[in-house]
Structure 1
Amino acid sequence: MSVISPRSPRSREGTTAVSPPSSRPDPVVRRSVRPRLSAEDRDVLWLYLLTRAAIWTTAYCARWLFPTDADARDPGSVLAPFERWDWGHFLNVARDGYFPAESGPWDADWDNREAFFPGFPLALRAVHTVVPSWTAAGLLISFVAGAIAVLALARVARLYLPDAGADRRTVQLLLLSPCAIFLATGYSESLFLALALPAWLAAHRRNWPLAATLAALATTVRISGLFLAAALALHFVLTARTRADRRPLPWLALPALPAVLYAWYLHSHTGDWMAWKHAQERGWYRQFHPPWEAWSNTWESAFDHVQTTGYAFMFQAELLAMVVGLALAGVLIRRRRWPEAAYIGLSLWALGTSYWYTSIPRATLLWWPLWITLAAWSLRSPRFRTAYFCLAAPLSTLFALTYLTGRWAG
């Protein structure tokens, strides 16, 4: 079995040989990105709907069993469990803008909302024009985007794995992963994946204008879009062999444009070209620190009893997620999957050079090579599959309850 190498047209017939990417669109790739829903796609969507129902069931139970006030007789709004943490920042930007009433980082009680890219808030504001509830609008965006993302992930998996059911298994591993709750909330992960994964598919079709456009849209949502753009550029370099192949090269600069425009917008209001980074530093301690210092500070917070137990547990999850990311990068390098390795490596560098680790478990949702690699291992070893689901299921429920009850969940 080829673990994470795009397969040749003969791979579905049972061969494991992998031919180098050609300069022309691969016929298997073309089938993999067809717009029509296949039976496999419908199975993926059914799995997606079932996991959404499970999360809503968990949210319903959390309202009744874990109220903020132990003496409460009313569980509160059905949407209240989803109004946590970063959702407040997205809501504030969508509803009031980045600098309402001339307020900004010069105010003592500023919430550092400019640390969040505008893609999701803009989508939220647009959907709110037809959905009166802001929370419902955010959940609807993530619901639709998540469906697009899992379909795209399944099709990406078909590029890499020849096994029947590999696409379904890959999606299953993602949707039952510990931090999968964040694909169902009013957060930006689902929207990012709904743009990034089709961009990756378009790149494998050598449709570079489409790939660059989707990557640019992904960059409006999260800074990770720039990591995706770097991976796409490396994929272009490795596959463009003729002068005709290199003609789309200027398109690869497009994903940087949203980041530049956002920096210009923030500068026009704050006079600071690095306003986004400085907001990250003020709000989330993302000042640059060498990787070993970041690991040491996170370890201290996790195990030296300097944090409350809830925060300490989540710092332990941060350390584990970093180890998983480093192992994944090693596997990708060993398999010579250089574009994917670049994407993961840049993500790890950005997340691993702060004062301490923050949000690495959530970032695993964006690491599609991880889910494809785990799917390959689970198809090879039934024991690995059983072990994964036995561990992931309780952790997924635990993280969902942690978030839905207002505690920090990575």
Structure 2
Amino acid sequence: MDEPEAGTAQTPRLWDAAGAWRGVLTAIGILALTRAGQLLMIWWLGGATQEPRTIRERLLIWDAGWFLRVAMDGYPEGYTYDANGTLQGNELAFFPVYPILIRAGAAIGIDPGTAALGVAWIASVGAAIALHLLGTSLYGKKAGWALVAICCSAPASVVLSMAYSESIFLALVAGTFVAAHRKVWWAAGLLGLATALSRPTGAAAALGLAVAALIAIREPGGRKLAPLAAAAAAGAGVPLYLGWVAWRVGDLSAWFKIQTAGWGTSFDYGVSTFNFLKTTLRTGDGWVPMSVALILLVALAAAGVALAQKPWLPLAVYGVVAMILVYGQAGFYHSKPRLLLPVLLTLLPAVVAAARARPRVAVLSIVAWALFGLWYGAYLVTVWPYTL
């Protein structure tokens, strides 16, 4: 939906529309409830496992180790091989914004693991604020709170408490689209560039921002240079990092080879996703694969409903491209719900419905969703033995 410039007589300032400090603190409170509830579930489920670990240890597993190595040891000079000469994945697969922030925390004397968690948790607060502002800008204050609650209690939202880059990416991508929707182009460009240097999916956000810029310059009397500069800055992020990896290794396709060697990640136009769905729904054994398959199908259906409701075009473009990247690539099937978390498009139908429903109905529905989603994430980092 297109709106006039923020602060005009027709449209109140976003800060006021979002409820000012009270509205923002409510969004942070919703985030805090989801995080505290999920940490309690992790503690409870972890006590029943055969491998005793503290909550901190569970929040610092899997990809967290890679980010910490980048932060403290830097990136390797080239490819990494095992004793048999087989190419392995290495730290060059991980984009730099999160490791830089961890390193900054460690530089002032904070333990690296604590710094990694601290950065992720602070970024989660930023994500809650940005999500509330985005939902408010698009659909109103109630939608802003609903977007925070639904996103931060989704089945893979446990990564918002872990030393993963999702919290930073979510804060940055939501902030980028808030700035673009309110036509604050300098902020959209800077946030878009940081988004693109946080995760490869930042390329999808850059495309969405480019669409917002094109819409802006086509408006009568609209600014030309600022929107184009913002889109150019965001669009440069992913190519800059991939180009730097290529230069460092001496191979134009270095980043892609490292990803494939380490995590089996390659774009196969959805063949592996289709085969996973077909096999799991027909003969799958185990409830986690089945639940992932259902999550993937429900997310597709939700995206279809969202597109039928004609959301703001830049957000729709970002969501569609991000989903193509998730569904179109080979890799660990159990990581796909996590990769879908920042897409946002799949959440819009529920957000709009919650904003229009009676408060009691909306709250009860979101609480039911949260109980399952938070438990699901806690289960994956305690009982489920594989990477998230």
On whether the aligned pair clears a TM of 0.5, the verdict is yes
How high is the sequence identity, in percent, across the aligned residues?
22
**Which residue does 1:42 correspond to in 2?**
25
Letter in 1 for 2:247: S
Letter in 2 for 1:343: Y
**Which residue does 1:96 correspond to in 2?**
73
**Which residue does 2:326 correspond to in 1?**
351
- 1:278 is aligned to 2:257: yes
* Other structure's SS at 1:245 match: coil
Shift of the alpha carbon at 1:381? 4.5
State how far apart, in whole Å, the 1-side matches of 2:109 and 2:341 are.
Answer: 27
Q: Give the alignment partner of residue 122 of structure 2, picking from 139, 144, 169.
A: 144
Shift of the alpha carbon at 1:125? 1.2
State how far apart, in whole Å, the 2-side matches of 1:255 and 1:170 are.
Answer: 24
State how far apart, in whole Å, the 1-side matches of 2:167 and 2:385 are.
Answer: 21
What do residues 333-365 of structure 1 show as CA deviations (whole Å, max 9, x unaligned)? 323332222111111211122236463211232
Shift of the alpha carbon at 1:217? 0.6
**Which residue does 1:378 correspond to in 2?**
354
**Which residue does 2:305 correspond to in 1?**
331
**Which residue does 1:10 correspond to in 2?**
none
**Which residue does 1:116 correspond to in 2?**
94
**Which residue does 1:401 correspond to in 2?**
379
What do residues 115-161 of structure 1 show as CA deviations (whole Å, max 9, x unaligned)? 21111111111112235422211110111111011011111111222
Q: TM-score, normalised by structure 1?
A: 0.82
**Which residue does 1:216 correspond to in 2?**
193
What do residues 307-329 of structure 1 show as CA deviations (whole Å, max 9, x unaligned)? x73xxx44434433332333343
Instruction: Name the count of aligned residue pairs.
Output: 378
What do residues 1-54 of structure 1 show as CA deviations (whole Å, max 9, x unaligned)? xxxx4xxxxxxxxxxxxxx434x3454463338999521111222222222222
What do residues 85-138 of structure 1 show as CA deviations (whole Å, max 9, x unaligned)? 1112112211222216x6625853733332211111111111122354222111
Q: Do the aligned partners of 2:39 and 2:55 also contact (CA within 8 Å) in 1?
A: no
Q: Do the aligned partners of 1:149 and 1:193 also contact (CA within 8 Å) in 2?
A: yes
State how far apart, in whole Å, the 2-side matches of 1:111 and 1:290 are.
Answer: 22
**Which residue does 1:341 correspond to in 2?**
316
* Other structure's SS at 1:256 match: helix
What does 1:150-189 correspond to in 2, within 5 Å? 150-162=128-140, 165-189=142-166
Q: Do the aligned partners of 1:105 and 1:112 also contact (CA within 8 Å) in 2?
A: no
**1:354–1:373 distance in 2 versus 1, CA, 3 Å:** same
What does 1:287-298 correspond to in 2, within 5 Å? 287-291=266-270, 293-298=271-276
Q: What is the RMSD of the two structures over their aligned residues, measured on CA atoms?
A: 2.9
Q: TM-score, normalised by structure 2?
A: 0.86
- 1:235 is aligned to 2:212: yes
Q: Do the aligned partners of 2:173 and 2:195 also contact (CA within 8 Å) in 1?
A: yes
* Other structure's SS at 2:340 match: helix
**1:250–1:391 distance in 2 versus 1, CA, 3 Å:** closer
Shift of the alpha carbon at 1:222? 0.6
State how far apart, in whole Å, the 2-side matches of 1:401 and 1:358 are.
Answer: 13
State how far apart, in whole Å, the 2-side matches of 1:85 and 1:274 are.
Answer: 25
**Which residue does 2:174 correspond to in 1?**
197
**1:399–1:226 distance in 2 versus 1, CA, 3 Å:** same
Q: Give the alignment partner of residue 240 of structure 2, picking from 244, 261, 269.
A: 261
Letter in 2 for 1:367: V
Q: Do the aligned partners of 1:115 and 1:280 also contact (CA within 8 Å) in 2?
A: yes
Letter in 2 for 1:60: W
Letter in 2 for 1:368: L
Letter in 1 for 2:341: L
In structure 2, the gaps of 5 or more residues are none
| Higher mean C-alpha displacement, 389-398 vs 86-95 | 389-398
- 1:66 is aligned to 2:49: yes
State how far apart, in whole Å, the 2-side matches of 1:121 and 1:105 are.
Answer: 23
Q: Give the alignment partner of residue 3 of structure 2, picking from 5, 18, 21.
A: 21
Q: Do the aligned partners of 2:106 and 2:112 also contact (CA within 8 Å) in 1?
A: yes
- 1:246 is aligned to 2:224: yes
What does 1:359-378 correspond to in 2, within 5 Å? 359-378=335-354
